[in-house]
């Protein structure tokens, strides 16, 4: 019975509306009402995954002002204008709000792709809206969907952290879809958004991988916004025509309030322009949290495709980050990036040297990262790993404690004042390092099994709570999840 209730809940998250295909103008909808279709409640997760579809690669995206706006991105099969129509759910008015999109034509591999972005503005907090996309002639009109704008002055909200889907095949993204469905079933409620810490795809110039990501995110991406920063697989290199394509920018629609660079010219053959980091390094407020996304691909080191960094523009990045955090008035601060400063697989020294002092100066509470394909958690202050004397009983993974530590702190419940918490996801796909790579960096907890892990993060006025769900599989490449368990739960208090 519980499984059927969970499946019903998931389907209701992604409930669709009947599409109308009559001709429309750019200022009004047809007079036909938008009626709800009946969700199927008797499907297994395997049947849900098989039924997922997203022919126009529609996705909702976080904006700078999530209480009053919603970003959207989609793809049309041919060149031409695109539009988004939206209105308050159940509205009987013929007129709706219509916005013409910004067209983003990209060469993805050898295929020209016609991508579009827009922002739905002037939304009312706490209100549910209906929306759909179309071309100029309305010969193409999508199914209609709905989303709910967050309420003002949220005292509590939750989100899912997805690390490195990074698949190269449709089968791999089917496995990712099973992970997402199982995570949503565990929380039994709709997350406020889904956060990605980079490497959404494996090869940025392979169109089928982007198509598979959007298709197999269709259990939530129509009604739940995503927010992401770029990983090394999302941005391939710094030279050549690939930098003018920037496929990540084509498929994503995220805030452009990050640093304003000069053109990158300190490294030979560096083709990056001043705006290349738009939508990859940015910040926004949600509830009582200030979120900062940082594109760590700007910090060239031995683990990236560039060995030397553009010192002038890295200084601009650091100055922007300092100014952004200085102006922060939210109670909590969460940073997310792809390459973490304290992680098991890679010693990303540049990230640690350039960014960690800023995190500590401004009292960042939690740093989320990926790239490692190994799960770990650590708390550092002034480059020192904080000693913990006690912890919960861990059934999986390895926990390092110092029972004689003078502070007697508990690893699963501690104050944010003792240091910055660094949480590194492994993957929501099928690629694991399983201890085969070792950075030599110390962490308090590590989990190396080939099981995907999805942290579910809840923020209140008093604490950040993280419940990390592990997904048991017989093998890393198995599509379906056998069972779900709680890997660890911890609280950061303030």
- State residue 31's pLDDT score: 41
Residue 41 lies in a domain: no
Residue percentage of the chain with pLDDT more than 70: 89
pLDDT recorded at residue 461: 96
Split into its structural domains, the chain has a count of: 2
- pLDDT interval class at 265 (50, 70, 90): confident
Token pair, residue 158, equals 């939750």
Query: Domain check: are 119 and 180 in the same one?
Result: no
pLDDT tens, position by position, 406-426: 899 999 999 999 999 999 999
Amino acid 37: pLDDT = 46
Lowest-confidence segment of 29-38, 46-55, 188-197, 433-442 by average pLDDT: 29-38
Query: Do residue 95 and residue 216 come from a single domain?
Result: no
What letter would DSSP give residue 37? P
Judge contact between 174 and 428, C-beta under 8 A.
no
| CA–CA distance, 358 with 281 (Å, rounded to integer) | 15
Range of the domain at 121: 2-36+72-148
Question: Which tokens hold the place of 275?
Answer: 């705006």
Whether the per-residue pLDDT at 229 is higher than 90: the answer is: yes
CATH, residue 390 = 3.60.21.10
With respect to residue 205, please indicate whether it lies within any of the assigned structural domains. Answer: yes
Quick one: pLDDT at residue 297? Answer: 87
Higher pLDDT, 303 or 384: 384
Distance CA 185, CA 190 (A): 10
Determine which helix (DSSP H) or strand (DSSP E) holds 464, and give its type and residue range. Answer: strand 463-472
pLDDT band per the 50, 70, 90 thresholds, residue 189:
confident
Contact call for residues 37 and 30 (beta carbons, < 8 A): no
Last residue of a domain, one of 148, 178, 209: 148
Instruction: Note whether residue 121 is domain-resident.
Output: yes
Q: What is the pLDDT of residues 339-398, one digit of tens each?
A: 999 999 999 999 999 999 999 999 999 999 999 999 999 999 999 999 999 999 999 999
H or E segment and range at residue 335? strand 332-339
Q: What is the mean pLDDT of residues 256-274?
A: 90
Q: What is the 3-state secondary structure (H, E, C) of 139-155?
A: CCECCEEEEECCCCCCC
In a domain, 43, yes or no: no
pLDDT-wise least confident of 6-20, 228-242, 330-344, 382-396: 6-20
Q: pLDDT value at position 81?
A: 97
How far apart, in Å, are the Cα atoms of 214 and each of 75, 177, 178, 472? 11, 10, 14, 24
According to the model, what pLDDT value does residue 41 have? 66
Same domain, 142 and 174: no
pLDDT of amino acid 24: 34
Cα gap 192→224, rounded to integer Å: 7
Q: Which of the two residues, 100 and 39, has the higher pLDDT score? A: 100
- Average pLDDT of 280-295? 97
Of the residues 148, 182, 197, which one is the last residue of a structural domain?
A: 148
- 442 in a domain, yes or no? yes
Q: What is the overall mean pLDDT for the chain?
A: 90
H-run or E-run covering 360: helix 349-361
- Vertex 310: Cα angle to 198 and 422 (nearest 5): 35
Q: Are 256 and 230 in contact (CB under 8 A)?
A: no
- pLDDT at residue 344 in the model: 94
Q: How far apart are the first and last CA of the chain?
A: 39
Q: Does residue 223 sit in the same domain as residue 95?
A: no
Residues 362, 296, single domain; the answer is: yes
């Amino acid at each position: 019975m519980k499984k059927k209730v969970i499946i019903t809940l998931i389907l209701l998250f992604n409930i669709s509306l009947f599409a109308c295909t009559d001709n429309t103008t750019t200022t009004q909808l047809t007079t036909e009402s938008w009626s709800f279709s009946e969700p199927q409640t008797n499907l297994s997760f395997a049947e849900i995954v098989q039924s997922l579809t997203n022919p126009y690669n529609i996705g909702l995206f976080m904006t700078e002002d999530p209480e009053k706006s919603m970003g959207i991105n989609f793809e049309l099969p041919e060149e031409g204008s695109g539009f988004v129509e939206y209105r308050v759910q159940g509205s009987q008015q013929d007129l709706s709000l219509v916005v013409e999109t910004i067209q983003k034509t990209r060469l993805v591999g050898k295929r020209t792709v016609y991508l579009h972005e827009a922002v739905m503005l002037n939304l009312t907090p706490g209100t549910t809206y209906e929306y759909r996309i179309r071309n100029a002639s309305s010969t193409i009109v999508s199914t209609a969907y709905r989303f709910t704008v967050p309420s003002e002055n949220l005292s509590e909200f939750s989100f899912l952290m997805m690390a490195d889907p990074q698949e190269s095949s449709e089968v791999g993204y089917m496995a990712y879809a099973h992970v997402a469905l199982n995570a949503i079933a565990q929380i039994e409620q709709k997350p406020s958004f889904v956060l990605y810490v980079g490497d959404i795809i494996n090869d940025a110039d392979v169109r089928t991988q982007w198509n598979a990501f959007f298709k197999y995110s269709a259990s939530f991406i129509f009604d739940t916004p995503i927010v992401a920063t770029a990983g090394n697989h999302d941005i391939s290199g710094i030279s050549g025509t690939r930098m003018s394509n920037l496929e990540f920018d084509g498929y994503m629609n995220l805030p452009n309030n990050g640093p304003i660079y000069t053109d990158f010219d300190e490294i030979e053959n560096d083709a990056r322009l001043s705006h290349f980091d738009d939508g990859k390094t940015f910040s926004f407020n949600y509830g009582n949290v200030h979120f900062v996304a940082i594109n760590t691909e700007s910090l060239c080191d031995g683990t990236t495709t560039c060995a030397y960094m553009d010192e002038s523009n890295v200084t601009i990045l650091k100055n922007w980050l300092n100014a952004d955090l200085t102006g922060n008035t939210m109670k909590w601060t969460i940073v997310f990036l792809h390459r973490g400063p304290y992680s098991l697989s890679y010693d990303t020294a540049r990230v640690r040297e350039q960014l960690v002092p800023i995190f500590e100066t401004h009292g960042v509470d939690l740093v989320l990262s990926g790239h490692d394909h190994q799960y770990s958690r650590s708390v550092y202050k002034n480059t020192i790993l904080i000693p913990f004397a006690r912890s919960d009983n861990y059934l999986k993974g390895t926990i390092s404690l110092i029972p004689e530590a003078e502070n007697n702190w508990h690893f699963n419940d501690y104050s944010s004042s003792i240091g910055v918490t660094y949480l590194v996801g492994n993957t929501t796909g099928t690629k694991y390092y399983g201890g085969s790579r070792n950075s030599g960096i110390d962490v308090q907890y590590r989990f190396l099994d080939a099981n995907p892990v999805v942290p579910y993060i809840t923020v209140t006025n008093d604490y950040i709570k993280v419940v990390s769900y592990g997904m048991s599989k017989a093998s890393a490449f198995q599509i379906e999840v056998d069972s779900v368990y709680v890997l660890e739960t911890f609280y950061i208090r303030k």
